[in-house]
C-alpha cells in the first residue's frame, strides 16, 4: 500500500469476510473455472486453523442441522457421533462417485473448489478421530481426479493436515457403485456392489474399521460450518433443513448447470436463476432417476427441500432437476430411463433382478401402443423395499410417478399407438459398457 508519504507499508491482507447470503460453496469459484488454489481458498474462507476442530465439531454439526447431500438427507451430526462412538480408529470415505447421469454438482465442486471439499474431509476426520481419508471418484471423471490429486499435493507441501493423510481412489461409475456399501466393498477389494446391512458402514467399513461415508457436497458445507458456526449456517434454508444446496438443472432452460440455492426455495426462483424456460415444458423431474415428476404449471410452486417434496411423494435426492420440453414424448423418455435402471441393477437380489426388467418391459410396450402388463401396478409396490439397497425403491418411485403424471399421454399411446410429441431425447443415459468392476 502506498501511503501519503510515498513510503510503502506492509499490506495486511483483509481478514476473510463471513459469507452473507449466496453463494456459499461457490463463492470462491474462479471466472475461468480453473481450480481455486490453496492460497486463493484460504484468502476467501480463512484457514482451518481458526475453525472448530476435534470432537467439539460434532456438537457444532449437530447444532447446524446439516443433512447429507448424497440423496438420503440423513443428519450428518448423528453419523459423526455414531462413528466416533465405535471402538477402533475410523476411516473417512469421501463419496465423489456421482454416477447419477443428470447430476454434476459433486464433480463441479471437486473441479473448481477442491480445497473446500478437502478441508471438510480433514475436519470431519479430525472430529471422529480418523487419520485416513479416501476420496472415491468415478473412472470417467479424469479431470476431477487430476485436480484433487494436485490439491492434495499442495496441502502436503504446506503440511496443513497434521496426521491426516488423503488419497484418491478411482471407483467404477456404474449407477449403484456410489451406494455406500458398494463403494466400501470395492475399496475392500471386492466388486462395487451393495452388501447386506447390518453391519452398516459406521460399524464396519474399510478394512473392517468404523467408516464415515459422506458426500462431497456435505463435506464442503461442514468446512464452512466449522469456520462460521451453526447460527450462520441456519441463516439460509428451513428450520428442518438449514443451509444452501447445489442443484444440477438441465433440459429446456437457458442456463443449465449447477446452481446454489437456499433449501426451501421455490422451483420458480430456481428457474429464473437458470435463465427461464427456452420452450414450453410439460413437467419437471425433481430428484433425478430416483425422483418424481411434477407437471407444469403447479410444479413452479414446489419448494425445494426434502420435507416439502416428501410430503408430495417425491424427494430432493441429490438435487437433480430436468425440465422436459412439451414437444418431447414423455412415455418413451421414461421407458428409456426405466430400462437403464433395470440394466444398472447390481444383479444380486431377486426382486430387483426380475422386477425392474419386468417394469421396464411393461413401459416399453406402452410406447408402441400395446397394453401394459396388468401386473405392473402390483409390481411397483411389491418390489419396493426388497433389495439389499434402495435402487429398486428409487426405480419404482420413478416409474410410478411417470405413470401418474403422464397418464394422459399414456392413454394417447394406448389409443393411437403413439403420441403427437417427437422422440427427441432429453434425459441422459450413459453409453453402455461403462465399467462395473
Nearer to ligand SF4, 90 or 317 (CB): 317
Does 205 help bind other proteins (rule: CB under 8 A)? Answer: no
Largest CA distance in the chain: 88
Residue in 19, 35, 65, 70 binding ligand FMN, rule: CB under 6 A: 70
Q: What is the DSSP string of 20-31?
A: -SS-STTTT--T
A 10 A CB-CB count for 159 gives 7
Does 306 help bind ligand FMN (rule: CB under 6 A)? Answer: no
Give the length of the chain.
437
Of 93-101, 306-314, 321-329, 345-353, the window that binds other proteins (rule: CB under 8 A) is 345-353
Residue in 269, 296, 348, 369 binding other proteins, rule: CB under 8 A: 348
What track of x and - describes contact with ligand FMN for positions 133 through 172 (by CB under 6 A)?
----------------------------------------
Of 77-85, 136-144, 374-382, 425-433, the window that binds other proteins (rule: CB under 8 A) is 374-382
CA 101/CA 160 separation, integer angstroms: 35
The strand pair at 91-96 and 132-138 is best described as parallel
Of 67-75, 87-95, 279-287, 376-384, the window that binds other proteins (rule: CB under 8 A) is 376-384
Of 21-29, 214-222, 244-252, 294-302, the window that binds ligand FMN (rule: CB under 6 A) is 214-222
Q: CA of 177: how far to CAs of 10, 39, 220, 269, in Å? A: 52, 34, 22, 33
CA 93/CA 99 separation, integer angstroms: 16
| 422 contact partners, CB below 8 Å, separation of at least 6 | 327, 328, 329
CA 150/CA 336 separation, integer angstroms: 38
Residue in 111, 355, 400, 427 binding other proteins, rule: CB under 8 A: 355
Nearer to ligand SF4, 378 or 386 (CB): 386
Q: Phi first, then psi: what are they for 292, rounded to 5°?
A: -135, 160
Q: What is the DSSP string of 325-349?
A: ETTB-HHHHHHHHHHHHHHTS-S--
Closest CA to 130 of 120, 138, 139: 120
Kindly determine how many residues on this chain lie close enough to bind other proteins according to the rule CB under 8 A: 20
Does 195 help bind ligand FMN (rule: CB under 6 A)? Answer: no
**3-state class (DSSP) for residue 300:** helix
CA 270/CA 304 separation, integer angstroms: 9
Does 214 help bind ligand FMN (rule: CB under 6 A)? Answer: yes
Does 391 help bind ligand FMN (rule: CB under 6 A)? Answer: yes
Kindly determine how many residues on this chain lie close enough to bind ligand SF4 according to the rule CB under 6 A: 15
Nearer to ligand SF4, 38 or 349 (CB): 349
Q: Are 214 and 76 in contact (CB under 8 A)?
A: yes
Does 400 help bind other proteins (rule: CB under 8 A)? Answer: no
Does 95 help bind ligand FMN (rule: CB under 6 A)? Answer: yes
Residue in 52, 97, 123, 128 binding ligand FMN, rule: CB under 6 A: 97
Does 201 help bind ligand SF4 (rule: CB under 6 A)? Answer: no
A 10 A CB-CB count for 342 gives 23
Residues of this chain that interact with ligand SF4 (CB under 6 A) are: 176, 193-194, 345-349, 352-353, 387-389, 391-392
Residues of this chain that interact with ligand FMN (CB under 6 A) are: 68-72, 74, 95, 97-99, 175-176, 178-180, 213-215, 218, 389-391
Amino acid at each position: 500500500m502506498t501511503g501519503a508519504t510515498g513510503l510503502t507499508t506492509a499490506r495486511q491482507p483483509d481478514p476473510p469476510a463471513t459469507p452473507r447470503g449466496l453463494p456459499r460453496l461457490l463463492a470462491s469459484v474462479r471466472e475461468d473455472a480453473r481450480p481455486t488454489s490453496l492460497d486463493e481458498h484460504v484468502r476467501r474462507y480463512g484457514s482451518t486453523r481458526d475453525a472448530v476442530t476435534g470432537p467439539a465439531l460434532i456438537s457444532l454439526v449437530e447444532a447446524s442441522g446439516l443433512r447429507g447431500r448424497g440423496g438420503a438427507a440423513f443428519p450428518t451430526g448423528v453419523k459423526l457421533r455414531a462413528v466416533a462412538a465405535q471402538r477402533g480408529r475410523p476411516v473417512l470415505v469421501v463419496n465423489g462417485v456421482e454416477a447419477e447421469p443428470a447430476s454434476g454438482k459433486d464433480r463441479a465442486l471437486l473441479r473448481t473448489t477442491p480445497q473446500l471439499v478437502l478441508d471438510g474431509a480433514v475436519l470431519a476426520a479430525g472430529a471422529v478421530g480418523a487419520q485416513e481419508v479416501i476420496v472415491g471418484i468415478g473412472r470417467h471423471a479424469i479431470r476431477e481426479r487430476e485436480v484433487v490429486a494436485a490439491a492434495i499435493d499442495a496441502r502436503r507441501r504446506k503440511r496443513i493436515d497434521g496426521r491426516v493423510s488423503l488419497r484418491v481412489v478411482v471407483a467404477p461409475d456404474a449407477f449403484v457403485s456410489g451406494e455406500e456399501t458398494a463403494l466400501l466393498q470395492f475399496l475392500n477389494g471386492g466388486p462395487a456392489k451393495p452388501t447386506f446391512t447390518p453391519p452398516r458402514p459406521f460399524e464396519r467399513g474399510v478394512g473392517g474399521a468404523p467408516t464415515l461415508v459422506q458426500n462431497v457436497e456435505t463435506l464442503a458445507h461442514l468446512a464452512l460450518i466449522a469456520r462460521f458456526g451453526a447460527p450462520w449456517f441456519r441463516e439460509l434454508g428451513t428450520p428442518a433443513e438449514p443451509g444452501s444446496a447445489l442443484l444440477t438443472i438441465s433440459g429446456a432452460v437457458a442456463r443449465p448447470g449447477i446452481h446454489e440455492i437456499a433449501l426451501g426455495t421455490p422451483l420458480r426462483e430456481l428457474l429464473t436463476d437458470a435463465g427461464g424456460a427456452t420452450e414450453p415444458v410439460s413437467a419437471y423431474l425433481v430428484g433425478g432417476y430416483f425422483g418424481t415428476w411434477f407437471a407444469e404449471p403447479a410444479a413452479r410452486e414446489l419448494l425445494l427441500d426434502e420435507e416439502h417434496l416428501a410430503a408430495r411423494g417425491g424427494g430432493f435426492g441429490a438435487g437433480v432437476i430436468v425440465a422436459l420440453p412439451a414437444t418431447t414424448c414423455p412415455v418413451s423418455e421414461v421407458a428409456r430411463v426405466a430400462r437403464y435402471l433395470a440394466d444398472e441393477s447390481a444383479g444380486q437380489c431377486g426382486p430387483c433382478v426380475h422386477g425392474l426388467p419386468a417394469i421396464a418391459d411393461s413401459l416399453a410396450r406402452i410406447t408402441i401402443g400395446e397394453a401394459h402388463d396388468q401386473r405392473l401396478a402390483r409390481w411397483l409396490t411389491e418390489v419396493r423395499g426388497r433389495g439389499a439397497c434402495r435402487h429398486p425403491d428409487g426405480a419404482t418411485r420413478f416409474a410410478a410417478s411417470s405413470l401418474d403424471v403422464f397418464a394422459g399421454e399414456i392413454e394417447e399411446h394406448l389409443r393411437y399407438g403413439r403420441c403427437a410429441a417427437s422422440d427427441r431425447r432429453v434425459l441422459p443415459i450413459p453409453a453402455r459398457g461403462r465399467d462395473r468392476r
